[in-house]
C-alpha cells in the first residue's frame, strides 16, 4: 500500500487528532473531495459546499480496502442514477477505497455535508472503536452511519454510509461510474479488466 504525502505535514495540525476518511464513491476523485474541504461546487455536481473550518488539504492519501461490501441504490438528483453505499455489517467482502488523512473535525464536517447539515456533534472515537459504528443525529440522511474500519499507521480508518440497507438496488449513471473507475485506476493501479471484474458483481451494477 503506497501512501502519497501532501505538502501539508502532521505538525501543521498541532494537537488535532487525525483520522483516515475512506471514500468509496465519487469522493475518490481528489478534485471533487477538495470541495468538501475548501468549499465550492464539485466536479459533476450542482451543490455549493461550505467546506470545513480548517481548509487545509489532507496530510496524506492512499488506496486501501475496507471490510464492508459495496452496492448501488437510490436515485441521485445530481447523477440521475444509483449512488454508492456500503453495508453496515463487516464481512468477507471488501470495498476498495481512497483514504484521506484529515483531522477528526474535518471528517465530522465532511459527514455533515454529506448529510446536508451544517453541523454534527463531535464523535467519540473511543466509543466508535468499541462499538464499530455510530448514528449521526436522527439517522434519516443518506450517510448518517459512521463505520470504524480499523487502524492504519496509528490512525483510525472511518467511513460513512446509510444506516439502513437501501433497496431496490439501482443502476448508477455512466458519468458516476466513470469517475469511480478513474479513481480505481489511479489509486489501486488496476487494469480495465480488473476494474470490470470488481464492479460488475456489485448490486446495482450486476445484471445491468
Q: What domain count does the chain have?
A: 1
Range of the domain at 34: 3-199
pLDDT of 47: 77
Q: Does some domain include residue 18?
A: yes
CA 22 to each of CA 57, 80, 167, 206: distance values in angstroms, whole numbers, following the listed order: 15, 24, 23, 24
What residues of the chain score a pLDDT lower than 70? 1-2, 4-14, 43-45
Q: Please state the separation of Cα 51 from the chain's center in Å.
A: 15
What is the pTM assigned to this prediction?
Answer: 0.92
Domain assignment of residue 15, yes or no:
yes
Tell whether 103 is covered by a domain: yes
pLDDT at residue 10, rounded to an integer: 56
Q: Judge whether 204 lies within some domain.
A: no
In a domain, 206, yes or no: no
Residue 14 lies in a domain: yes
Domain assignment of residue 180, yes or no? yes
The CATH number of whichever domain residue 18 belongs to comes to 3.10.490.10
Amino acid at each position: 500500500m503506497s501512501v502519497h504525502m501532501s505538502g501539508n505535514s502532521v505538525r501543521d495540525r498541532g494537537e488535532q487528532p487525525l483520522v483516515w476518511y475512506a471514500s468509496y464513491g465519487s469522493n475518490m476523485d481528489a478534485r471533487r473531495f477538495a470541495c468538501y474541504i475548501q468549499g465550492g461546487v464539485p466536479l459533476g455536481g450542482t451543490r455549493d459546499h461550505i467546506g470545513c473550518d480548517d481548509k487545509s488539504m489532507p496530510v496524506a492519501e492512499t488506496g486501501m480496502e475496507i471490510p464492508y461490501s459495496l452496492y448501488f441504490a437510490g436515485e441521485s438528483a445530481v447523477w440521475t442514477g444509483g449512488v454508492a453505499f456500503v453495508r453496515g455489517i463487516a464481512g468477507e467482502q471488501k470495498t476498495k477505497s481512497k483514504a484521506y488523512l484529515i483531522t477528526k473535525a474535518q471528517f465530522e464536517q465532511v459527514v455533515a455535508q454529506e448529510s446536508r447539515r451544517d453541523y454534527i456533534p463531535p464523535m467519540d472515537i473511543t466509543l466508535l472503536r468499541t462499538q464499530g459504528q455510530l448514528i449521526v443525529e436522527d439517522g434519516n440522511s443518506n450517510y448518517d452511519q459512521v463505520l470504524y474500519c480499523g487502524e492504519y499507521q496509528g490512525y483510525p480508518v472511518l467511513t460513512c454510509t446509510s444506516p439502513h440497507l437501501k433497496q431496490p438496488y439501482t443502476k448508477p449513471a455512466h458519468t458516476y461510474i466513470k469517475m469511480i473507475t478513474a479513481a480505481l485506476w489511479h489509486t489501486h493501479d488496476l487494469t480495465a479488466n480488473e476494474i470490470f471484474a470488481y464492479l460488475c458483481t456489485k448490486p446495482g451494477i450486476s445484471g445491468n
